[in-house]
Structure 1
Amino acid sequence: MTAAVPAPDLPHDPRLLEEALIARFDAAGFTRVHPPVLQPADVFLDLSGESIRRRMFFTADAEGRELCLRPDLTIPVARTVLEHKMPLPAMVSYLGSVFRFRGEGQGEFQQAGVESFGRTDLQAADAEMIALGLEVCAIYGLPSPEIRLGDVGLFAALLEALPLAPAQRRRLMKDFGQGQIEPDFGQSKPAETGEGRHSGVLAALNGADPAAARALITDLLSIAGISTVGGRSVTEIAERFLEQAELDAGGVSAEAADILSRYLAISGAPDEASAQVRELAREAGIDLSEALDAFDQRSGFLTALGVDLAQVHFSTSFGRPLDYYSGMVFELHDPCSRTHGPLVAGGRYDRLLARLGAQSAIPGIGLSAWLERLAVINATKISAPKMDAAQ
């Protein structure tokens, strides 16, 4: 069994549980921050992917700049760290409202979590973040949640080792996080879509100088009086055309598609999965040793922290739907399915601060806890003895 984290003897008042959670974060060395509720919308669209747009609440300032109610807290916290020029390593925590259209509950709900920036012992930090997530669950009465593990960095290393065009790598990475990778990896052309109707334009762009082609598309859209389409700027539309032209030039080779299929079918305990990926790499004649060594080091740190790897489910196809993840990702779920979705989730995002304006890449990792879901688990735990007594 995964090492159970003892649940503290706490009152079951949600407010007191939240206070206990923040106290645990404080004890672990995380300082609480309070990012603004209103945030620039473009930051989330650029870093979380366009799929988040339909779930966001938008407004605008007096100058017409598009703002939003924060749909998550990782990006606002990262912006706070940069704006306040916090010395590294910076370890910060938060608890507050986030705002998203969603299938469950109201559009406003509470999240708590931590973010760690600047630690260079990456694998140890990964393992400690998962261990802290287990403690969060224990505070709410679930000492042994189901642990789901993935590795965006390992998939990225595989893509780099395969003979793929840059646009193909970008598309596969994006689809991986969204769980939308096509079974044939784009080898077959789609039916007549909006992009198919522009096949002549795309063919003309293929092989053109990227800067000149981008300028041409931008000029044509500007002449037509087009500034945005579906929320995308002229620059974004131009980039989309260029990427599609490159993708249309040729699909993933049959050999690469076979390797990708075999890789994405691997799952199980981390040690077993690592051995299978190593064997696949050996047979395919590609080098994934650096990424796999880091993977195995993280597993060693997890074991040292008391986590039984036999109870961890790793899947090569598991990602999280945020574009900024770059390494390990994880989710903790209720084994009894008393609530939908992860209770705690997080991962590594080593390029996030640089994309927000930092002068260089800064290692980052964090977790978020869905407090309303955890409260359901806690309430169920409370009611269970009463039900038994009544029988």
Structure 2
Amino acid sequence: MSQTFQNIKGTFDILPDPYTDDGGTRIAPSAEWRYVEATVRDVMARYNFDEIRTPILEPTALVARGVGEATDIVQKEMFAFERSDTQYVLRPEITAPVVRSYLQHHLDQRGGVQKLFYIGPCFRAEQPQKGRYRQFHQFGVEVLGTDDARADAETVAVMMAIYDELGIKDTRLRMNTLGTPDRREEYVHALREYLEPYADELSETSRRRLKRNPLRVLDTKLDHEQAILQDAPQLIDYVSDESRAHYDRVQRFLADLGVSYVEDPHLVRGLDYYTETTFELESPDLGAQSALAGGGRYDRLAEVLGSEEPVPAIGFAAGMERLFLALDAAEAERPGLPAPDVFIAALGEEAEQWVFRTTQELRAAGLHVALDLKGRSLKAQMREANRQEADYTLIIGGNELEAEEATVKEMESGEQEDVPFAELSTVLLDKCRTEHE
């Protein structure tokens, strides 16, 4: 028996039609992915962001240094390998690669603040679950070259605008400030001292985080651990006056924009490079794994990656798989499969040749045209035209070729019109333009 293959666990195919994967999650069709990506690009253009595309492969050291050696991503979740004494990783996130590209190509020399956005796949070797895959897709922004609080507010604003544009309204924005790394060390010490007496009550994951990076314990979703944290020291009490002032300005600008949020003193995010403002967008419709997007300021990352000068920056990343779950929960309107403007059915070999040639001419004129490529009966071709939901159908046989006229049938109304071959392109373009207005 010949071997058959399936996609690797934790990955999925994006098909022309929606389907349900083995875990019971609806996988959106390619038309919906294009729609979401087009919406992201449209909003980004309105906010004056330029697109950047970085390789899927990056140096392992870049990710380890940028994300943080003690993070779960570096410790357990990277797809890393070696070839010819060079160590590679499939990128688990895109911020560090964007900063690498910014430094490598001297994007600061373009002038002004660099407002960049991206859309692309990432990879993490974690246990697949609903909305979480080993190959997943992110979109996000990076604003590099300014420490102005308006950049923080605009980054949050463009994130919110995308979800609003897609019809996802039931969200909650959480915000906090992390302050600077030097002051944060004082907080880490205080938090560790507070948590150590509770070590036996913590989960294995939280005990490991307590040793390596106590801030990550604040990410816990376990109820009994959240109860322990209720009386824990709060990071806001350890930030400097300058950091407080920056955060106050961010809040004032968000108020001007009408962006509502809740302050969460335990919000720290999971990556080492964050400083100052941090935020996370959630959807209550997604259950325990409620995060849609998140980000913050990372003013020290460029120096960690080798820059001689600091590059103040802020950004966010959003998971597209989670976004589709939120779209499903919100029952948001999305496009169906693209339907042909015209389906041309052929009767006989001579008609097939004419239809094949004319189809290309009509496509070149700008029409979406479908035809049969199996030599099926007229009845089967008409069933296919209905299945594809074509707006108009043409039937071409010997009589039509002799008269040099085609009968153009509007499928919804059933109305028909005889059109000379010489006028076919013009008439169909006018009809389809009116149909789509």
CA contact (8 A) 1:98 1:111 kept: yes
Q: Which has the higher contact order (CA 8 A, sep 6+)?
A: 1
* Alignment equivalent of 2:279, drawn from 326, 330, 341: 330
For each residue in 1:117-139, what CA deviation from the matched residue of structure 2 results, as whole angstroms up to 9, or x when unmatched?
Answer: 00242x11111111111112223
Residues 58 and 304 of structure 1: CA distance in aligned 2, closer, same or farther (over 3 Å): same
For each residue in 1:163-211, what CA deviation from the matched residue of structure 2 results, as whole angstroms up to 9, or x when unmatched?
Answer: xxxxxx28928xx9xxxx4352668999xxxxxxxxxxxxxxxxxxxxx
In 2: Cα distance, 1:32 partner to 1:24 partner = 12
CA contact (8 A) 1:56 1:100 kept: yes
Question: 2:20 corresponds to which residue?
Answer: none
Residues 376 and 33 of structure 1: CA distance in aligned 2, closer, same or farther (over 3 Å): same
Counterpart check, 1:60 vs 2:70? no
* Alignment equivalent of 1:92, drawn from 89, 94, 116: 116
* Alignment equivalent of 1:293, drawn from 245, 256, 275: 245
Question: 1:304 corresponds to which residue?
Answer: 256
What pairs with 1:26-105 in structure 2 (closer than 5 Å)?
26-49=45-68, 50=70, 51-53=72-74, 54-62=76-84, 64-87=85-108, 88-103=112-127, 104=129, 105=132
* Alignment equivalent of 1:112, drawn from 115, 139, 145: 139
Question: 1:140 corresponds to which residue?
Answer: 166
Q: Which has the larger radius of gyration?
A: 2
Residues 56 and 374 of structure 1: CA distance in aligned 2, closer, same or farther (over 3 Å): same
In 2: Cα distance, 1:366 partner to 1:39 partner = 20
In 1: Cα distance, 2:95 partner to 2:287 partner = 26
Question: 2:329 corresponds to which residue?
Answer: 380
Question: 1:150 corresponds to which residue?
Answer: 176
In 2: Cα distance, 1:332 partner to 1:341 partner = 8
In 2: Cα distance, 1:383 partner to 1:45 partner = 38
Counterpart check, 1:172 vs 2:208? no
In 2: Cα distance, 1:44 partner to 1:171 partner = 26
Counterpart residue identity of residue 253, structure 2: F
CA contact (8 A) 1:138 1:144 kept: no
What pairs with 1:342-381 in structure 2 (closer than 5 Å)?
342-381=291-330
* Alignment equivalent of 2:156, drawn from 105, 130, 137: 130
Counterpart residue identity of residue 92, structure 1: L
* Alignment equivalent of 2:42, drawn from 23, 34, 48: 23
TM-score, normalising length from structure 1?
0.62
What pairs with 1:179-218 in structure 2 (closer than 5 Å)?
181-182=191-192, 184=194
Determine which structure has the larger strand proportion and give its number: 2
Query: Percent of aligned positions with the same letter in both sequences?
Result: 27
Say which SS state the counterpart of residue 291 (structure 2) adopts.
coil
Displacement of 1:292 in angstroms is: 1.8
Counterpart residue identity of residue 251, structure 2: S
Counterpart residue identity of residue 182, structure 1: R
Structure 1, unpaired ranges of 5+ = 1-10, 160-168, 191-239, 241-259, 267-276, 282-286, 385-391
Say which SS state the counterpart of residue 66 (structure 1) adopts.
strand
In 1: Cα distance, 2:126 partner to 2:328 partner = 23
Displacement of 1:263 in angstroms is: 4.0
In 2: Cα distance, 1:380 partner to 1:153 partner = 36
Say which SS state the counterpart of residue 367 (structure 1) adopts.
strand
In 2: Cα distance, 1:27 partner to 1:67 partner = 36
Say which SS state the counterpart of residue 343 (structure 1) adopts.
strand
In 2: Cα distance, 1:368 partner to 1:339 partner = 19
CA contact (8 A) 2:166 2:332 kept: no
For each residue in 1:314-363, what CA deviation from the matched residue of structure 2 results, as whole angstroms up to 9, or x when unmatched?
Answer: 12221011011011111100023357241111100001112212221111
CA contact (8 A) 2:138 2:320 kept: yes
Residues 81 and 57 of structure 1: CA distance in aligned 2, closer, same or farther (over 3 Å): same
In 2: Cα distance, 1:58 partner to 1:33 partner = 23
In 2: Cα distance, 1:339 partner to 1:372 partner = 15
In 2: Cα distance, 1:24 partner to 1:79 partner = 25
Structure 2, unpaired ranges of 5+ = 1-29, 201-210, 212-229, 334-437
Displacement of 1:84 in angstroms is: 1.2
Say which SS state the counterpart of residue 286 (structure 2) adopts.
coil
For each residue in 1:79-135, what CA deviation from the matched residue of structure 2 results, as whole angstroms up to 9, or x when unmatched?
Answer: 1111111124211111100000223243101101110100242x1111111111111
Residues 339 and 318 of structure 1: CA distance in aligned 2, closer, same or farther (over 3 Å): closer
Displacement of 1:140 in angstroms is: 2.9
Question: 1:209 corresponds to which residue?
Answer: none
For each residue in 1:43-100, what CA deviation from the matched residue of structure 2 results, as whole angstroms up to 9, or x when unmatched?
Answer: 22222123322101011131x1221000001111111111111124211111100000
Displacement of 1:261 in angstroms is: 6.0
CA contact (8 A) 1:17 1:139 kept: no
Say which SS state the counterpart of residue 153 (structure 1) adopts.
coil
In 2: Cα distance, 1:262 partner to 1:305 partner = 33
In 2: Cα distance, 1:305 partner to 1:363 partner = 23
TM-score, normalising length from structure 2?
0.55
Say which SS state the counterpart of residue 17 (structure 1) adopts.
helix
Residues 129 and 364 of structure 1: CA distance in aligned 2, closer, same or farther (over 3 Å): same
